């Protein structure tokens, strides 16, 4: 019985391995994909991806307020859970990562394996939201679908419209750069406050 109680405590503890991975998942994914994008892409591409991440977060908040679906345990988080903003953010970056990998290596065995590994990591980090009882499975699936779809749309907008305007107009570059920096600053500030108040989220 003592062993079972200890196992249950580890699973429910906000300081277990899975809880810790869940807590740092956004930061870890941001660091990995950020380093990859900076290494493989021009600054303009990186800024557009960062700006899209902010817009995706705003979209997630709007959808939460419209759908108003509760989380599995409202005592942990009182805000709505549909869709999962974690899953949406992670799969937003995943889609760009897969597209960048295919652009870099072409369609071959190596790029397919790398893309599959990215998908596996994104799926695991998103599943942690379910295992920690912060989201239902459907909330995570919808978040992943929204993140993937929005990422594809954001990439299409860049290739079809924004890229030419960015390289030809200094004003467009200034707006994109300053807007992205300002939004990311506010997001980092909000995340830091959230971690201080609820370190297991």
Contact 162, 48 (CB under 8 A): yes
Report if residue 94 sits inside a domain.
Answer: yes
Report if residue 98 sits inside a domain.
Answer: yes
Q: How far is CA 180 from CA 65, 71, 173, 196, in A?
A: 24, 30, 11, 24
For residues 141 and 127, what is the distance between their CA atoms, to the nearest angstrom?
9
Report if residue 116 sits inside a domain.
Answer: yes
Q: Which domain holds residue 165?
A: 22-197
For residues 12 and 61, what is the distance between their CA atoms, to the nearest angstrom?
27
pLDDT in tens, 120-163: 888 888 888 888 777 888 899 999 999 999 999 998 988 888 87
Report if residue 155 sits inside a domain.
Answer: yes
Report if residue 79 sits inside a domain.
Answer: yes
By C-alpha distance, which of 164, 7, 158 is closest to 95?
158
Domain count of the fold of the chain: 1
Report if residue 53 sits inside a domain.
Answer: yes
Per run of 10 residues, the mean pLDDT along the chain (length 201 residues) is: 37 56 61 61 71 84 88 69 87 86 85 89 84 84 93 89 78 72 63 51 44
185, exposed or middle or buried, with CB in 10 Å at 0-12, 13-18, 19+? exposed
Contact 31, 90 (CB under 8 A): no
Report if residue 14 sits inside a domain.
Answer: no
| pTM to 2 decimal places | 0.72
């Amino acid at each position: 019985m003592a062993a079972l109680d200890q196992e249950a405590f580890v699973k429910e503890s906000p300081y277990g391995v899975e809880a810790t991975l869940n807590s740092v998942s956004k930061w870890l994914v941001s660091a990995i994909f950020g380093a990859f994008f900076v290494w493989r892409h021009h600054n303009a591409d990186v800024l557009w991806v960062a700006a899209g991440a902010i817009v995706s977060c705003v979209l997630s908040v709007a959808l939460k307020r419209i759908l108003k679906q509760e989380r599995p345990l409202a005592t942990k988080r009182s805000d709505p859970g549909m869709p999962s903003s974690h899953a949406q953010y992670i799969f937003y970056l995943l889609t760009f990562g897969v597209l960048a990998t295919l652009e870099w290596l072409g369609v071959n065995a190596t790029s397919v394996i790398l893309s599959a590994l990215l998908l596996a990591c994104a799926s695991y980090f998103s599943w942690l939201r379910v295992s920690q009882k912060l989201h239902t499975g459907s909330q995570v699936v919808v978040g992943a679908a929204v993140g993937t779809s929005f990422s594809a749309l954001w990439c299409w907008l860049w290739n079809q419209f924004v890229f030419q305007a960015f390289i030809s107009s200094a004003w467009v570059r200034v707006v994109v750069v300053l807007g992205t920096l300002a939004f990311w600053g506010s997001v980092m500030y909000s995340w830091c406050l959230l971690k201080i108040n609820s370190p297991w989220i």
